[in-house]
Structure 1
Amino acid sequence: MNALLRRFSMTAAAVSVALGAGAAMAQDTITMRIAHNMPEAHTYSLWLDKFEEVLEEKFPGRFDIKVFPAAQLGTETEYLEAMQLGTLDGAIMGRHGQIDSRLDVLNLPMIYRDDAHVDAVLHADSEVEARLNDILYEKGFKVLAWGELGFRYITTNGTEVRSAADLQGLDIRVPNVQPWLTAFKAWGANPTPLPFEEVYSALQQGVVSAQENPPENIWTSKFHEVQSTMSLTGHANIPTEFVLSRAFWEGLPEEVKDTVVEAAKAGSLIQVAAAREANAALVDQIEATGVTIIRDIDKESFRAGAEESYRASEETIGRDLIDAVLETN
């Protein structure tokens, strides 16, 4: 923890924003420090651009939004710790399951039927969304809006994944999400959890021979440079969230809170639409670089492993929450 404190203290001093949330609130200008681990070319930038635009329109000169992209402030796990320490105010990330295991319901493989189902769960003020937001608030984080990275595809060094059986023995990097570890093991793979920031080097050095991500992540992080085949499995879709620390949120003046949420939601609509458009277009762009695209996927072959992960997660997530997501229309 001391190393983490030193790292964020140095960063804060370097950019002259070493004010705590309470001090920032005491000023007329509200300084908000937001981090994410994606490159500046990622659709997260569109989200935050719109966020800043709406805030500036409603409260000219009131907000000073400082964005730290491309993992400048470390990993998403470090963001959580930094928000608790008060050295970071907010982040866009996908670490909800790390905050509370019940939130792993959003990470379950094959939990979403399609984009419309994702929208019904997270972008339509559903009862499920309210439950998820309440869980995060209990744990110290205020959700402003939900975003997405998109349905995920598997890339390899030549292995063509047309069904779950083709994963047998494959050394594949996955996020450190227990339901995924369960599912990939059920599919016969050897899943290795690694931070996103380490994936490119792990593939390059042969630590793992495969990974899975949406096309936008594959493209902007240049995984196509170190992988030769991409299979359009669409086996999962991890959403992301724009959160503020609860302490920072509660310290905001009441008159700005509704607009902060409104601005984040306006940005999320742009980010989600842009991510989906980019993911569709980037399949062709990735193919144009010489990567072989496998389109004929037996998606139902992944169902048994997915349901095994549901059963294994019932104790930590709750079957009622799993069913609530599955049944949302």
Structure 2
Amino acid sequence: MISRRRAVLALNALVLAAGLTGIATAAGAQTAKPITMRIAHALPETHGYSLWLADFKKELDTLAQGRVDVQVFPNAQLGKETEYLEGMKLGAIDGAVMGRHGQIDPRLDVLNLPMIYRDEAHVSAVLHRDGPVREKVDAIMLEKGFKVLGWGELGFRNITTKTGPVAKASDLKGIVIRVPNVEPWLAAFRAWGANPTPMDFSELYSALQQGVVTAQENPPELIYTSKFYEVQKFLSLTQHANIPSQFVVSKAYWDKLPDDLKPIVLKAARASQDRQVAATRAANAKLVADLEKAGMTVVRNVDKESFRAGAEVSWKAFEAKYGGDLIKAIQDTK
């Protein structure tokens, strides 16, 4: 009888100990310090980049149950886009939303080639769904030390000018226009007769205001949120290119994430990517009318085909340097 009682007491003690251990483990998991993810971008808080990252943060909070503390630093608080790549390598920031893939590897300038995309559906087929092009460009990024969480969109780009409209490519002759420091673009704008001048986006408004450059090109959302309508008169809907943006973290940061957390981060990133693309396209469609209301003269009747010959100059230069495989892969994507 005594031995049986002792056995029961021992069993109860084991059950109690196991329960306490489980409670302690659960409490420990709940109170564990979240992993910080510091993400920078250079655009205003009103821009879609901020909305994209806010959506990602909300999605990840739900899926990861608070295990990751996403901290967003907009409006170039942590430096210019040109400084983010080095910042990630040094661990000063963990990731960024930007459009610097061509600086990460010049082969990725294929995504920037003028006139390379047929329409929005083609862009999505190339970059927003799994396929051979996305697989290849993601692999190149990882090889260079950056893990792609998502490919976003700024939208098709249009030219704004101070002195006159651009209804055809030859209207660009002699115009000093700011463009990103993307070699295929420099080649194309030179072929169109312009004087392309690279500079960081954060310096663009003051450069337009002071007349350092008299024209620029960007999607409607950037033109509106950056208030370029205050210093530019004409908006010409050239839709000559579509530079994708990317949400990346450093490979070093990615490698340190717990393995069970990585698919959760990717799931949240893909969901927020898809919503960012849809929201950006809707915003750009509306903002053309808003820019018109703000005083810009919108030139809708643009001879887009007149830009093709100059665009193909940049294609040939790119193909000679890096090969035509990716160009063909993009063109073949349905």
Which one has a bigger Cα radius of gyration?
A: 2
Q: 1:50 aligns with which of 36, 52, 55?
A: 55
Partner of 2:288: 283
Q: Which amino acid aligns with 1:45?
A: S
Q: 1:316 aligns with which of 318, 321, 334?
A: 321
The alignment status of 1:39 with 2:68, answered yes or no, reads no
Q: After TM superposition, which residue ranges in structure 1, 4 or more long, deviate above 3 angstroms?
A: none
* Aligned positions of 1:94-243 closer than 5 A: 94-243=99-248
Report the Cα distance in structure 2 between the residues aligned to 1:138 and 1:318, rounded to whole angstroms. Answer: 19
Report the Cα distance in structure 2 between the residues aligned to 1:65 and 1:124, rounded to whole angstroms. Answer: 25
The alignment status of 1:328 with 2:333, answered yes or no, reads yes
Query: CA offset at residue 43 of structure 1?
Result: 1.1
Q: What SS class does the counterpart of residue 255 from structure 1 fall into?
A: coil
Q: What SS class does the counterpart of residue 93 from structure 2 fall into?
A: coil
Determine if contact 1:145/1:242 at 8 Å carries over to the other structure.
yes
Report the Cα distance in structure 2 between the residues aligned to 1:327 and 1:212, rounded to whole angstroms. Answer: 27
Query: CA offset at residue 315 of structure 1?
Result: 3.3
Query: CA offset at residue 269 of structure 1?
Result: 1.0
Determine if contact 1:156/1:210 at 8 Å carries over to the other structure.
yes
| Structure 2: gaps (5+ residues) | 1-31
Q: Per-residue displacement from partner, 1:123-147 (whole Å, max 9, x unpaired)?
A: 1101110000000000000001100
Q: 2:304 aligns with which of 267, 288, 299?
A: 299
Q: 1:263 aligns with which of 255, 259, 268?
A: 268
Q: Per-residue displacement from partner, 1:243-297 (whole Å, max 9, x unpaired)?
A: 0000000000001000111111111111111111111100000001111000001
Report the Cα distance in structure 2 between the residues aligned to 1:225 and 1:317, rounded to whole angstroms. Answer: 40
| Structure 1: gaps (5+ residues) | 1-26
Partner of 2:254: 249
Q: Per-residue displacement from partner, 1:160-207 (whole Å, max 9, x unpaired)?
A: 101101001111000000000000000000000010001100000000
Q: Which amino acid aligns with 2:131?
A: S
Q: Which amino acid aligns with 2:252?
A: A
Q: Which amino acid aligns with 2:66?
A: G
Q: Taking every aligned residue pair, what percent have the same amino acid on both sides?
A: 63
Report the Cα distance in structure 1 between the residues aligned to 2:247 and 2:308, rounded to whole angstroms. Answer: 30
Q: Per-residue displacement from partner, 1:273-327 (whole Å, max 9, x unpaired)?
A: 1111111100000001111000001111000000000001113332111111122
Partner of 2:98: 93
Task: Return 168-177 or 315-324, whichever deviates more.
Answer: 315-324
What number of residue pairs does the alignment pair up?
Answer: 303
Query: CA offset at residue 57 of structure 1?
Result: 1.1
